Structure 1
Amino acid sequence: MTGHPVQVQVQVWWARLDDARPALLTLLDPVERARYESTPDPAARGRFLVGCALGRLVLGRLLDLPPADVPLRRVCPRCGGPHGKPRLRTPPTGLSGEPQALDFSVTHSGRLVGVAVCRDGEVGLDVEESGPGTVVDVDSAARVALSAAELAALRARPAGERQSAFLRTWTRKEAVLKALGTGLTVPLRELEVSPPDRPPAVLTWPTPFQPHSRPRMSLADLLVENTHPAAVAVALREPSGSRPKDAGAEEDGVVIDVAAHDGTRTLATYAG
């Protein structure tokens, strides 16, 4: 018998590359500042600045801390370098002294930047810029990112539908891997998700998550500015000491409630 679904809230702030301002540099820590200064491409540098600043402003507000004092760390799961998923140091505390169980995720594509925050689980956010003039080499990307079944289904679609279908699938997969904190150390082809015109769900887990280490995961599709596909994933935290479920055992679902916010306004308030 299946239990009741567990509802978790994710807050998402959306901003744009145009929101980058010199005043935001004061929010970056030394590691972030070094990465900003060593990034040669102006657009990539701007996206990084907006993502860092927006994340610090949002987390600072939620933690009752000055944005520049938010304790962040970045550790790449592959090489140990300072460029992995940004995380809060454990356990962060606000002015009340209470631990703050927050996870967050940053994404950017083209001129879009997003930050997602969740208190109840590990969160991953991904967005892909789309719309008129956006061209993706779907054939090449699909061979790397899709399972054999997903690739066959994509090729069976009319040519005019393939780019949008691929981007929907890609955002779902990226959101899941970001929530798990693995990045691309787990091959995308080993993670299979539901077809793009069906409710988002993980169908097949990569080998490292079979069968007892599978997280309780939920996905939600988003659409930014009515054009750009995005997805958010949450891996629910298990209670300390909980026993892993047997393979095939039924479990409660996880339903994501997404609240969208204006990240541009948040940045403008600080940058003046």
Structure 2
Amino acid sequence: MTGQSVRVWWARLEDGHAGLRALLDPVERARYEATADPANRGRFLVGCALSRLALGDLLGLPPADVPLRRVCPRCGGPHGKAELALPRASGGSGVDFSVTHSGGTVGVAVCRGAAVGLDVEECDARLDVDTVAPGALTDTELAALYARPAAERRSAFLRTWTRKEAVLKALGVGLSVSLRGLEVTAPDASPAVLAWPEQLAARPEPAMADMIVDGTHPASVAVVGAGALRLDRRDASATVAAYGREG
């Protein structure tokens, strides 16, 4: 099977432990210590660790030697999207990665030669689809959602959401662009973009794939700048849980 290879690593909030803090740089450590909510602090720690483990595996580097930087495009502060900070001569050219987390699930997608976006959403019974769907779906998508039986709407909505967010993350714009302007195929059809928002005009057709994590949570990955997509999925919970522990 040919196509753009994307490695998607998954871990869980419960895999975090104090030994992973050795992988944080000074900026990340300050952010970690300033985060009051324990769950958010844990997700940030696991996300940083998983990013360095996945990128180190791709680049042939020890995780601790993988440098990341965060620069806000608006203010220049150290809190923007994480990027690989390796010079071309060190193999960093053309490598992209995307981090996602929801609830107790954390994921990182890494690839060479294309921009990648990854999103996962916890399948939470507390989600009020009637409240959030009108702000995220096009009129066509919304009509199709309400044509489904009520019991199917939450999962259908979350599948559509993960596809949209993965595409916008791959383009580097995230949720600064309204989800309502981006239309994708129906949840039970192969993932593809049907219409772009005006802010983005027509873009190259992204390669996309859907996943289910832990048998429950919908996730999607999108790659821009490549043809077909080939997934290499890895459950990295044991790797994250073991890293940095004594003995």
Alignment check: 8 A CA contact 1:126 1:232 kept: yes
- Partner residue of 1:14 out of 10, 13, 22: 10
1:228 corresponds to 2:221? no
Deviation string 1:38-73 (CA, Å, 9 cap, x unpaired) is: 111101110110010111122123223332332212
SS in 1 for 2:9: strand
Q: Which residue of 1 aligns with 2:111?
A: 118
Q: Give the drift of 1:8.
A: 0.6
SS in 1 for 2:243: helix
1:128 corresponds to 2:117? no
Q: Which residue of 2 aligns with 1:208?
A: 199
Q: Which residue of 1 aligns with 2:84?
A: 88
Alignment check: 8 A CA contact 1:215 1:236 kept: yes
Within 2, Cα distance between the matches of 1:77 and 1:142? 29
Within 1, Cα distance between the matches of 2:143 and 2:75? 34
Q: Give the drift of 1:22.
A: 0.4
Alignment check: 8 A CA contact 2:2 2:230 kept: no
Further displaced range: 200-209 or 167-176: 200-209
Within 2, Cα distance between the matches of 1:90 and 1:26? 20
Within 2, Cα distance between the matches of 1:61 and 1:224? 21
SS in 1 for 2:140: helix
1:9 maps to amino acid: S
SS in 1 for 2:228: strand
Unmatched tracts of structure 1, length 5 or more = 238-253
Alignment of 1:27-38 (within 5 A): 27-38=23-34
Q: Which residue of 1 aligns with 2:58?
A: 62
Alignment of 1:1-272 (within 5 A): 7-89=3-85, 91-94=87-90, 98-130=91-123, 134-211=125-202, 214-236=203-225, 254-272=227-245
1:68 maps to amino acid: A
Alignment check: 8 A CA contact 1:194 1:201 kept: yes
The structure-2 alpha-carbon separation of the partners of 1:139 and 1:265, relative to structure 1 and needing over 3 Å to count, comes to same
The structure-2 alpha-carbon separation of the partners of 1:90 and 1:26, relative to structure 1 and needing over 3 Å to count, comes to closer
**Alignment root-mean-square deviation, CA:** 1.9
Within 1, Cα distance between the matches of 2:92 and 2:106? 28
Within 1, Cα distance between the matches of 2:88 and 2:31? 24
What percent of counterpart residues are identical? Answer: 62
Within 1, Cα distance between the matches of 2:71 and 2:128? 30
Within 2, Cα distance between the matches of 1:170 and 1:47? 21
Q: Give the drift of 1:109.
A: 0.5
* Aligned positions, number: 245
TM-score by length of 2: 0.92
1:110 maps to amino acid: G
